[in-house]
Homo-oligomer: A and B are copies of this chain.
Amino acid sequence: MSHMGYSCLMALDRDHVLRSAAALLTRKSTATMDEVAKAAGISRATLHRHFAGRDALVRALEALGIEECEAALDAARLDEGPAADAVHRLVREIEPAAGLLAFLYTENQLFEGEGQNQGWARIDDRIAGLFRRGQRSGEFRIDLTPAWLTEALYGLLASAAWAVSEGRVAPKDFTHMIVELLLGGARRREES
């Protein structure tokens, strides 16, 4: 064993289990602990050694989702350049986590008060702040509230993730579809 073996191999294992669980629960949000274990290639006993129970697993997934969102927000450099470009960078950065986000987004409709509400609130604020910046600079229209634009972004991310996983949308179009609809809408523009 040794401390290094523990902290290193376990951490890698745990991360692998977490990502397998995310991939499975994205497709089947009611998957059993046994199914999660099999999907990760481990036994239910070992799964329980990593996560005390289903709640703990979902909490860990929530933490992972928050972490990846924050990382995407950082990588997108929301404060730099035109807000529209920042939105584009944000969607591109957040795409790999979209499936997980969709799972957590629908899961959170259930646990009203529980969960890492503070973590999500912070993310909501950062995204809403981006839209607010775009409104103040005159790039974005002001009759759609930042809160709604944020919510709409979540909804479009979830829709796109499902549409891609069911083959209704090509994976390579993911970012383009979301960004163009969110920013430009469906109506044809004369100006551009």
Report which A residues bind B (CB closer than 8 A): 27-30, 84, 87, 106, 109-110, 131, 134, 138-141, 143-145, 147-149, 151-152, 154-156, 158-160, 162-163, 168-169, 173, 176-177, 180-191
Contact = CB atoms under 8 A, between A and B. Distances in A.
Contact of A169 (B145, B162, B187): B145
A149 B139 CA distance: 23
Contacts of A144: 177, 180-181, 186
B148 A154 contact: no
Nearest to A26: B109
A39 to B, nearest CB: 16
B185 A185 contact: yes
Contact of A162 (B151, B173, B188): B151
A186 B149 contact: yes
A134 B168 CA distance: 20
A114 to B, nearest CB: 13
Given A109-B29, A110-B30, A144-B177, A138 B184 contact: no
B186 A143 contact: no
A140 to B, nearest CB: 5
B186 A183 contact: yes
Contacts of A141: 180, 184, 186-189
Given A29-B110, A110-B29, A185-B182, A152 B159 contact: yes
A151 B160 contact: yes
Contacts of A185: 180-187
Which of A110, A149, A155 is packed against the most chain B CB atoms within 10 Å? A155
Contacts of A189: 141, 189, 191
Contacts of A188: 138-141
27 contacts: A134-B186, A138-B188, A141-B180, A144-B177, A144-B180, A145-B177, A147-B163, A147-B169, A148-B177, A148-B181, A149-B181, A149-B186, A151-B160, A151-B163, A151-B168, A152-B177, A155-B156, A156-B159, A180-B185, A181-B185, A182-B186, A183-B186, A184-B185, A184-B187, A185-B185, A189-B189, A190-B191
